[in-house]
């Protein structure tokens, strides 16, 4: 039987809506064999996830999704198989959370100017862990009646040129990859088609990423169309990057994005689990 991998998911440690134990239980119920938990800028959910995975008999890949600013854009870099005990990683993530807190205050000020009071307190009431994300602002704005759903609220308030948009000052690409490698992990560019880069600019990003020691490209993502997956598969082959796949699951409120229900990697892609860093042996 073929092994089901889902190598990109979120919990309440960042902007997911399920606690780590519940995410792992759902993944197991969905038939996932190998699950990576990859919260934004924190590894706080990993201990609980590992305990739950051992109980459920699935393999947990400890991970993180690091926010990076590259050429004034936000890019997400996944670290898979990270040892969360390493100082460089934790120091780097802590600095990103300080940036996040400052950005949240600025989002609050900007929304207040647009006539929406107490947005930070509202966002915090949706956050369960150390991270305040735009997702939490979005939940508050929908609940307060400013938009009909999450997609609508992002479009109207939380993206470039909208009243609640504040660009994050995130990590440098080379630093994020270095923290991941120092922690024994493999670095993967998350959902590459989401950035809407020209092929030339994406190749430049991937060239720099490889120079820094990056290893993988998330060819199959819950946020990619079938054409995106094929194009990113071609890009991975051309750049000799290992191909990864992940749903980017945030919880049952997004029913169209399901745990472990991903298309196969395109033909000819070398999977990330063929990396020498990947643990050997069949998943439990």
Enumerate binding residues for ligand AMP (CB under 6 A). Answer: 15, 40, 67, 133-135, 150-151, 154, 168, 250
- Min dist CB 154 to ligand AMP, Å, is 4
3-state secondary structure of 189: strand
> Please, what is the minimum distance in Å from the beta carbon of residue 254 to Mn ion?
10
Phi/psi of residue 207, nearest 5 degrees = -60, -45
The least distance separating ligand AMP from the CB of residue 271, rounded to whole angstroms, comes to 24
Q: Which residues pair with 184 in a beta bridge?
A: none
Residue 184, contacted partner among ligand AMP, Mn ion, none, CB below 5-8 A by kind? none
> What is the closest distance, in whole angstroms, from the C-beta atom of residue 160 to ligand AMP in the complex?
11
DSSP label at residue 66: E
Q: Which long-range contacts (CB under 8 A, 24 or more apart) does 208-212 make?
A: 208/70, 208/173, 208/174, 209/77, 209/173, 209/177, 210/239, 210/241, 212/173, 212/174, 212/177, 212/178, 212/187
Q: Choose among ligand AMP, Mn ion, none what residue 134 binds, the Cβ cut-off being 5 to 8 Å by kind.
A: ligand AMP
User: According to the binding rule CB under 5 A, does residue 134 interact with Mn ion?
Assistant: no
As measured in angstroms, the least distance from the Cβ of 134 to ligand AMP is 4
Relative to beta strand 34-37, strand 242-246 is: unpaired
Q: Are strands 216-221 and 186-189 parallel, antiparallel or unpaired?
A: parallel
What are the residues whose beta carbons fall under 8 Å from the beta carbon of 12, sequence distance 6 or more? Answer: 18, 19, 20, 45, 128, 129
As measured in angstroms, the least distance from the Cβ of 107 to Mn ion is 15
Neighbours of 243 (CB within 10 A): 25
Structure tokens at 276: 């020498």
Spatial distance between the Cα atoms of 211 and 3, rounded to a whole number of angstroms: 31
Query: 154 contacts which partner out of ligand AMP, Mn ion, none, CB within 5 to 8 A by kind?
Result: ligand AMP
For residue 95, give the nearest of 138, 41, 37 by alpha carbon: 41
Q: Which does 67 bind (CB under 5 to 8 A by kind): ligand AMP, Mn ion, none?
A: ligand AMP
Residue numbers 22-81 binding Mn ion by CB under 5 A? 65, 76
Q: Choose between 38 and 59: whose C-beta lies nearer to ligand AMP.
A: 38
248 scored as a contact of Mn ion (CB under 5 A)? yes
| Residue whose Cβ sits closest to Mn ion | 76
Least Cβ distance, residue 254 to ligand AMP (angstroms):
8
Q: Which of residues 176-235 bind Mn ion (CB under 5 A)?
A: 190
Q: Give whichever of 76 and 103 is closer to Mn ion, judged by the CB atom.
A: 76
The DSSP letter of residue 249 is B
128 contributes a contact to Mn ion by CB under 5 A: no
Nearer to ligand AMP, 42 or 56 (CB): 42
Binding interface with Mn ion (CB under 5 A): 15, 65, 76, 190, 248
């Amino acid at each position: 039987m073929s092994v089901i991998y889902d190598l990109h998911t979120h919990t309440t440690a960042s902007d997911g809506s399920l606690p780590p134990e519940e995410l792992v239980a759902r993944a197991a119920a969905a038939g996932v064999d190998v699950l990576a938990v990859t919260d934004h800028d924190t590894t706080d959910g990993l201990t609980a996830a590992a305990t739950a995975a051992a109980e459920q008999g699935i393999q947990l890949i400890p991970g993180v999704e690091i926010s990076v600013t590259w050429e004034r854009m936000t890019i997400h870099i996944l670290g898979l198989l990270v040892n969360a005990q390493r100082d460089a990683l934790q120091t780097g993530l802590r600095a990103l959370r300080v940036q996040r807190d400052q950005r949240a205050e600025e989002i609050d000020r900007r929304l207040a100017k647009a006539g929406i009071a107490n947005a930070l307190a509202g966002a915090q009431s949706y956050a369960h862990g150390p991270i305040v994300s735009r997702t939490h602002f979005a939940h508050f704005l929908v609940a307060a009646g400013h938009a009909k759903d999450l997609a609508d609220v992002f479009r109207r308030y939380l993206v470039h040129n909208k009243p609640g948009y504040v660009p994050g000052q995130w990590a440098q690409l080379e630093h994020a990859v270095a923290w991941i490698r120092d922690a024994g992990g493999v670095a993967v560019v998350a959902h590459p088609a989401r950035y809407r880069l020209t092929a030339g600019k994406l190749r430049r990003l991937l060239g720099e990423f490889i120079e820094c020691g990056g290893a993988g490209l998330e060819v199959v993502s819950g946020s990619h169309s079938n054409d995106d997956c094929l194009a990113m598969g071609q890009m991975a082959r051309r750049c000799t990057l290992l191909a990864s796949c992940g749903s980017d699951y945030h919880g049952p409120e997004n029913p169209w994005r399901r745990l472990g229900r991903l298309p196969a990697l395109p033909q000819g892609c070398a999977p990330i689990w063929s990396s020498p860093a990947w643990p050997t042996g069949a998943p439990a």
